[in-house]
Amino acid sequence: MTDAPLMTPGSADPASSPVTPHGVPHRGGPMNPSAERIRARFPAAFVRAEVVWGETTVFVRPDAVQDIVRYLHDDDSERYDYLSDVTAVEYRDLELPLQVVWHLRSLPYRRFLRLKAEIAKSAPLRVPSVFPIYQGADWLERECFDMFGIVFDGHPDLRRILMWEQYQEGYPLRKDFPLRGRFSRSEQLRQALAAEPESRYSMTELTIADAFEDLPLEMRRRLAGGEKTGE
């Protein structure tokens, strides 16, 4: 272990000494300066910004998310180098649009920013992927797709991750999905036993695809029959 760590959080703002927040107001309070800069730089994409419980939320138009996140990541006065989370929120009021949420952290400035994009349910649920900027978005976006059915454009490998790929019932975290699933328990069990995800490999994801001709006949038949991936 060395004395000087390679990267020290707070390095861009050495005077700051973070303390535990106390007495955080419900609404209002100091806003993250990045919000104002996003508004100045992306006037067309900026919708609104608010501070709730001391955390700044910036609402932006979905199609501009990638540009904004790239600016936040690359610009020297922002340096949001850490992606905490990508998730989505659906409200109980089914008329309200679906929200996709990005939680970003700027370690050099010790800042936290929540970015939100609202997508109306009447339109196809698509937002740009931030995977080209943060590699850590890979599984987070896949999970969001799995649970909400939101398609992240530009994600290289958007497959279901927690449920198996042949899962029939839909997207579990959507509000119209019942707690115990759409089908009866016996039907769910029958489908799960039939899926056998652990006995399958994927052709598209493996370089072994080059050796398709050498595979056993039975495996070739299964793979040719549209059996894509296990999950």
Partner 1 sequence: MAEKRTVEVSLSTSGLDAAGRPQRTPLVVDEGGRISTLEAPPSLEPELIGEHMLINIGPQHPATHGVLRLVLELDGETVVRCIPHVGYLHCGFEKIGEYRQYNQIIPWTDREDYLNSPGNNVAFALGAERLFGVEITPRCTVLRVIAMELSRIMSHLVWLGTTCIDIGAFTPFLWSFQERERIYTLLEQWIGARLTTTLTRVGGMGADIPDGWMDGLRDFIRTLPKTIAEVDRMVTRNGIWVGRTIGIGAMSAADALNAGLSGPLLRASGVAYDVRKDFPYLDYETYDFEVPVGTDGDVYDRFLVRMEELRQSVRILEQAAARLPDGPVNVDDPRLILPPKSKAMSEMESMIHHFKQVMEGPRPPIGETYVAVESPKGEKGYYFVSDGTPKPVRWRIRPPSYVNLSAIPQMVEGHLLSDVIAINASIDIVMGEIDR
Partner 2 sequence: MEEGGAPVGLTPRPDRQVVTVAPASQEGWVATRLDFLVNWGRANSLWPMPFGTACCAIEFMATAASKYDLARFGMERMSFSPRQADVLICAGRVPFKLAPVIRRIWQQMLQPKWCISMGACASSGGMFDNYAVVQGIDTIIPVDVYVPGCPPRPEGLIYGIMMLQEKVKRERMSDERLRDEMEPDPTSKLYIPPSVIDELSEPFGNSVHQTRSGL
Cα torsion angle, 230, 135, 56, 41, sign: negative
Least Cα distance to 109 among 31, 199, 209, 15 occurs for 15
The piece of 34-42, 110-118, 126-134, 193-201 that touches partner 2 (CB under 8 A) is 193-201
Taking a C-beta distance cutoff of 8 angstroms, is the pair 16, 110 a contact?
yes
Q: Based on the shown chain and the rule CB under 8 A, indicate whether residue 4 belongs to the binding site for partner 2.
A: no
Written in H, E and C, the secondary structure of 79-111 is CCCEEEEEEEECCCCCCCCEEEEEEEEECCCCE
**d(Cα 124, Cα 56) in Å, to the nearest integer?**
28
- Tell me the three state secondary structure of residue 48: strand
d(CA 221, CA 203): 12
From candidates 65, 68, 83, 115, binder to partner 1 by CB under 8 A: 83
Which residues in the 115-144 window bind partner 1 by CB under 8 A? Answer: 134-140, 143
Q: Which residue's CB is nearer to partner 2, number 22 or number 185?
A: 185
Q: Is 55 in the site for partner 1 (CB under 8 A)?
A: yes
Contact set for partner 1, span 88-107 (CB under 8 A): 89-93, 101, 103, 105, 107
Q: From the list partner 1, partner 2, none, which binds 186 (C-beta under 5 to 8 Å, kind-based)?
A: partner 2
CB nearer partner 2, residue 46 or residue 164: 164
- Run of H or E residues at 56: strand 55-60
Q: Examine residue 8 and tell whether it contacts partner 2 (CB under 8 A).
A: no
On whether the CB atoms of residues 181 and 168 are closer than 8 A, the answer is: no
Subset of 178-207 contacting partner 1 (CB under 8 A):
179, 197-198, 201-202, 205-207
Instruction: Name the site residues for partner 1 (rule: CB under 8 A).
Output: 1-2, 5-10, 17-20, 22-24, 26-27, 52-53, 55, 57, 81-85, 87, 89-93, 101, 103, 105, 107, 110, 112, 114, 134-140, 143, 147, 160-164, 172-173, 177, 179, 197-198, 201-202, 205-208, 210-211, 230-231
